[in-house]
Amino acid sequence: MSETAAARVQGNETPKAKLFSLKTPYMQQGRVTQLVAETPNMWIHTKINAQGGENEIHTHLDEDHSFIVLEGEMSVFDEKGNEMRVKPYQGVLLPKGAYYRYLNTGAGNLVVLRIGAGVRNKPKAGAAMRVRPDGREILGGSVENKSLPPIEMPGRFFAESAG
């Protein structure tokens, strides 16, 4: 995977502003999740899906997060199958414990900004952090989550001019 250097702030650093880029490869197949910036309490990723999405219902027990659609369209479903259509420049907020799955429902690549923040009283180390309604762990990039092998579009990037 092509990846630009992420802006990282370590816990012992003197706080200061850091520049980051949203440049991320477009996909022919599958998806890419690329870290662009992080602090000990927050992380920002670009996610690009050629098709599919996070296809199995799950929740995160260690973070609040949000998806903001930059390009394309996504449908977000809750555990009862209720659908929210999210278009460019709209977002969805997913508090810790909210079950969801999402799909790319647009014509081309789905490009989203994913912002996550750590939460207090998260599960103990070693406990599953991404789980299904039955409590079993599910990994984001797993076949069980209907992940396809990622194939980039050679030389094509979202936000290429961002460097």
In the prediction, which pLDDT does 4 show? Answer: 62
| Residue whose structure tokens are 């449908």 | 75
- Please give the tally of structural domains in the chain: 1
On whether residue 63 sits in a domain, the answer given is: yes
Domain that holds residue 75: 32-138
On whether residue 92 sits in a domain, the answer given is: yes
- Tens of pLDDT, residue by residue, the chain (163 residues): 444 678 888 778 788 899 999 999 999 999 999 999 999 889 999 999 998 887 889 999 889 999 999 999 999 999 999 999 999 999 999 999 999 999 999 999 999 999 999 876 666 666 788 888 898 888 887 878 778 889 999 999 999 999 8
On whether residue 119 sits in a domain, the answer given is: yes
In the prediction, which pLDDT does 2 show? Answer: 44
Q: Which two tokens stand for residue 8?
A: 């990282």
On whether residue 160 sits in a domain, the answer given is: no
| Residue whose structure tokens are 């290429």 | 160
Q: Is 132 exposed, middle or buried (0-12, 13-18, 19+ CB in 10 A)?
A: middle
CB neighbour list of residue 81: distance below 8 Å, 6 or more residues apart = none
Indicate which CATH number applies to the domain containing 58.
2.60.120.10
